[in-house]
């Protein structure tokens, strides 16, 4: 029997949907201090990308902070490429996750995506030191955040207990 994710952030304050509009860092909503984006990346065999962050000693889906003038969709594509080496196509928007990190309110916008090709990752090893491509069952045991398992379930059209 799968044990599921080991850790959990504080319960998200909200799950919201967004259309992924361009981020205007000078005029973002007052409550949001950090905008980020990522993707559930699925390859042709149905394996899903997950990355290890040594700073936090956790396994997580690829994601990162938006740069000024960058849309959240562009952020997701860039961050996935940097962290995994994957060139992706965004397919469907997923729920956004909202939580507090270091006393800053953060919104992470997510997409389901498919792998187009795989190259070299460019993220420094101090940020991402490993990438794994896992089956959904293996991913459930590896992911450290239950909210991210909910994203995978949504991306695959499954319940969290499948």
Closest to 38 measured CA to CA, from 55, 57, 53: 53
pLDDT the model gives residue 100 = 84
* The model scores a pTM over 0.75: yes
pLDDT the model gives residue 92 = 93
**Residues whose CB falls within 8 Å of the CB of residue 150, separated by 6 or more in sequence, listed in order:** 95, 160
Q: Indicate the CATH number of 14-156 among 3.90.79.10, 2.130.10.10, 3.40.50.2300, 3.40.190.10.
A: 3.90.79.10
Q: Quote the tokens at residue 2.
A: 């799968």
**Residues whose CB falls within 8 Å of the CB of residue 57, separated by 6 or more in sequence, listed in order:** none
Q: Within 25-134, where are the H helices? A: 72-84
pLDDT tens, residue by residue, 44-100: 999 999 999 999 999 999 999 999 999 999 999 999 999 999 999 999 999 999 888
pLDDT the model gives residue 23 = 41
User: Where are the extended beta strands (E) located within 94-129?
Assistant: 96-101, 104-118
Domains in the chain: boundaries: 14-156
């Amino acid at each position: 029997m799968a044990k599921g994710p080991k850790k959990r952030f504080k319960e998200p304050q909200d799950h919201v949907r967004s259309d992924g509009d361009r981020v205007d860092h000078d005029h973002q909503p007052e409550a949001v201090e950090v905008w980020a984006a990522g993707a559930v990346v699925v390859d042709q065999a149905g394996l899903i990308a997950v990355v290890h962050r040594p700073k936090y000693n956790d396994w997580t889906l690829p994601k990162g902070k938006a740069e000024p003038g960058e849309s959240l969709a562009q952020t997701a594509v860039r961050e996935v490429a940097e962290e995994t080496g994957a060139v992706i196509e965004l397919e469907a928007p997923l729920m956004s996750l909202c939580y507090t990190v270091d006393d800053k309110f953060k919104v992470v916008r997510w997409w389901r995506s498919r792998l187009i090709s795989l190259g070299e990752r460019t993220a420094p090893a101090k940020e991402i030191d490993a990438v794994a491509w896992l089956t959904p069952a293996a991913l459930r045991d590896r992911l450290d955040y239950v909210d991210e398992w909910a994203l995978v379930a949504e991306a695959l059209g499954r319940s969290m207990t499948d």
